[in-house]
Structure 1
Amino acid sequence: MSRIGYTLMTEQSGPRQLVEYAAAAERAGFDFEVSSDHFSPWLTEQGHAPYAWSVLGAITQVTSRVELMTYVTCPTMRYHPAVVAQKAATMALLSQGRFTLGLGSGENLNEHTVGRAWPPVARRQEMLVEAVEIIRRLLAGELLTFHGEHFSVDGSRLWDLPGDDERVRLALAVAGDKGIEHFAPIADDLVATEPLGDLVQTWNGVEGATRIGDGARAIGQIPICWDPDEKRAVARAHEQFRWFAGGWKVNSDLPTTAGFAGATQFVTPDDVADSIPCGPDLDKIVEAVGAFWEAGFTDVALVQVGDEHQDRFLAEAAGPLLERLRAAAP
């Protein structure tokens, strides 16, 4: 049966609110929770960007069952991979083995803040492959000296490591054949935000990859905008999530909220409503999530758009929605 997750959107809520939502989402019955990791929101209307790792550390202390995950962290520019390994090991210990490290090649929006030039996608993928090697070796307890093309580590080890029963899984974000070719052999799980069956099929065909459904997971994500008032839901989705229409190839390269505002100026509320289920109709949400199951995904994290009505969604809609999703899941 597919697992249903809840997304902690650091771009639309402050840190204390996110911790409260995480506890409420566990009570509502979600199987896992994922957190974005951004230095900036996509749009000024979203208005937030707290440090995801502090938030996740706090969440480990107000939850006891749900799995936790970064969705996703870039370990190549804003963070050095050795530091990411240390953060992941600490999260594994705090959560008592409930943490998965989701990794990706990054977005200019977040990584340009440290003043480094934004590399082309092929180079970003090379950097991520090298970063994963460093992270895995440090998580394995190695005293590591490493000098690669992109990163160096000098005589370093992690002093607080999870045991075998708390091992950190590495999930890597992919968006095309090249990424899958690079990442499938070195990842435990797949991450993608589009329900494309070709992603799962291609992943399963890569030599050395753990097959989806046979030890590996395919973890998707879908925005929804539940609200008793459909018109209000569409308006909120347009205000907060119109950036979503650009797709990964565009969104990964834009450097500022002003860039996203310009790129989305002609996106209409109707455009957003066509791609995001909005309003009180739970069956419409179930139908949209079903595209991920049909594509072979094992896990789907829901994004309830906007901080407004987040409490009400978790208190009123999440339970009935989870019941319907689980009844419909393969």
Structure 2
Amino acid sequence: MTDIGYTLSSEEFGPNALVQQAERAEEVGFDFVSSSDHYHPWVSAQGNAPFVWSVLGGVAEATEDIDVGVGVNCPIMRIHPAVVAHAAATAGAMLDGRFFFGVGTGERLNEHVTGEHWPPHSVRLEMLEEAVAVIRKLWEGGQTSHYGKHYTVENARLFTLPDELPPIVVSAFGEKTATAAGEIGDGFWCVGPQGDLLDAYENAGGSSPSYCQLHACHADSEEEAVETVHEVWPNSGLPGELASQLPTPRHFEQATQMVSEEDIREGDIITTPDPDEHIDSIQQAIDAGYDRVYTHQIGDDQQALLDLYEEEILPSFE
């Protein structure tokens, strides 16, 4: 059975709006929500970037049954993994078995803000592996000291822990990281139904859950949707590793001048108003092996997608 979820887009909405969207997503019948974790939006038109751990506290209070997660946090630079372990443990205690914890190697846009050197991906992956080990050790509940290559922890103990520890879901955009995810993670996270990466994760020993995020802009017409995506989410059209290397929204705005509306139209974002496009995209992710598929609605009109899923999409997967 595949779970269907909804994205809390912290780049586009403030904290109170995100809490309200989570509450509405539960009413609609989504199985889970996942909030992004950014210090900056990609472009200024998105307009927001609230602190995800504060938002999760509000979501925990406003909802009752829906699963809630971070997709994904980078625990290697901006916040020390000992502090991330503390934050995630508290979120897990508040959500009482409903919390899942996504982690990844991060983007320069968010992680360079403390002035530390932005290392290459191979080093960041090494840092992530050590950070996850630190988090797991602290979650055991005893007094912990750690003197590693990248992190030091001295005499730390988490006194507030959830009854059920959250799964650590590792994000990957390449085979090397997908393999590492299978070795250190409790789940896998990816954008788009990339079956080859899921295979690499599973071949390295990884098991469910596996998360696949889809992007959409549901509007009255495809033209309106394409215009909205081009204005609000042009970063989707950037190639390769560029999105992980640019340092500020201003740099993204410069780079996305190369992205045209035709690029958006021909890309992977669902921009047609046809409900079958959403159903087919979700089914493609299911066929690729993913068991938790969630959609990001781009733009101000979140209600359009919530209504569509309540009336037509979710009933198709019951």
Q: Report the TM range for the smaller structure's normalisation.
A: over 0.9
| Residue 246 (structure 1) aligned with residue 238 (structure 2) | yes
State the Cα deviation string for residues 226-256 of structure 1 (Å, max 9, x = none).
1123321111111111201225622111111
State the Cα deviation string for residues 163-182 of structure 1 (Å, max 9, x = none).
2xx22110000112211232
Aligned equivalents of 2:154, 2:134: Cα separation in 1: 11
- Decide whether the 8 Å contact of 2:10 with 2:36 is kept in 1: yes
Aligned equivalents of 2:261, 2:281: Cα separation in 1: 18
- Decide whether the 8 Å contact of 1:29 with 1:322 is kept in 2: no
| Residue 223 (structure 1) aligned with residue 198 (structure 2) | no
1:313 matched to which residue of 2? 305
Aligned equivalents of 1:205, 1:281: Cα separation in 2: 36
The verdict on how the C-alpha distance between 1:247 and 1:88 changes in structure 2, with shifts beyond 3 A counting, is farther
Specify the code of the residue in structure 1 equivalent to 2:317. Answer: R
- Name the SS of the counterpart of 1:228 in structure 2: coil
Instruction: Give the C-alpha shift of residue 196 in structure 1.
Output: 1.3
The verdict on how the C-alpha distance between 1:325 and 1:276 changes in structure 2, with shifts beyond 3 A counting, is farther
| Residue 179 (structure 1) aligned with residue 177 (structure 2) | yes
Aligned equivalents of 2:41, 2:257: Cα separation in 1: 17
The verdict on how the C-alpha distance between 1:244 and 1:156 changes in structure 2, with shifts beyond 3 A counting, is same
- Decide whether the 8 Å contact of 2:67 with 2:98 is kept in 1: yes
Aligned equivalents of 1:128, 1:325: Cα separation in 2: 38
- Decide whether the 8 Å contact of 1:238 with 1:272 is kept in 2: yes
1:204 matched to which residue of 2? 202
1:256 matched to which residue of 2? 248
- Decide whether the 8 Å contact of 1:144 with 1:153 is kept in 2: yes
Which of the residues 254, 272, 275 maps onto 1:282? Answer: 275
Which structure 1 residue ranges, 5 or more long, are not aligned?
A: none
1:158 matched to which residue of 2? 158
1:273 matched to which residue of 2? 265
Which of the residues 289, 292, 298 maps onto 1:299? Answer: 292
Aligned equivalents of 2:37, 2:239: Cα separation in 1: 18
- Decide whether the 8 Å contact of 2:12 with 2:41 is kept in 1: yes
Q: TM-score, normalised by structure 2?
A: 0.96
- Name the SS of the counterpart of 2:72 in structure 1: coil
Aligned equivalents of 1:82, 1:287: Cα separation in 2: 41
Aligned equivalents of 1:143, 1:68: Cα separation in 2: 28
Which structure 2 residue ranges, 5 or more long, are not aligned?
A: none
Within a 5 Å distance, the mapping from 1:19-168 to structure 2 comes to 19-163=19-163, 166-168=164-166
Aligned equivalents of 1:150, 1:225: Cα separation in 2: 41
Aligned equivalents of 1:321, 1:52: Cα separation in 2: 30
Aligned equivalents of 2:138, 2:64: Cα separation in 1: 26
Q: TM-score, normalised by structure 1?
A: 0.93
Instruction: Give the C-alpha shift of residue 322 in structure 1.
Output: 3.0
Aligned equivalents of 2:140, 2:100: Cα separation in 1: 15
For these two proteins, the number of residue pairs brought into alignment is 317
- Name the SS of the counterpart of 1:278 in structure 2: coil
Specify the code of the residue in structure 2 equivalent to 1:303. Answer: H
Specify the code of the residue in structure 1 equivalent to 2:46. Answer: Q
Identity of aligned residues (%): 37
- Name the SS of the counterpart of 1:71 in structure 2: strand
Aligned equivalents of 2:313, 2:284: Cα separation in 1: 16
- Name the SS of the counterpart of 2:232 in structure 1: helix
State the Cα deviation string for residues 5-33 of structure 1 (Å, max 9, x = none).
11000000111111111100110000000
The verdict on how the C-alpha distance between 1:248 and 1:154 changes in structure 2, with shifts beyond 3 A counting, is farther
The verdict on how the C-alpha distance between 1:248 and 1:2 changes in structure 2, with shifts beyond 3 A counting, is farther
Aligned equivalents of 1:6, 1:273: Cα separation in 2: 22
- Name the SS of the counterpart of 1:255 in structure 2: coil
- Decide whether the 8 Å contact of 1:73 with 1:103 is kept in 2: yes
2:188 matched to which residue of 1? 190
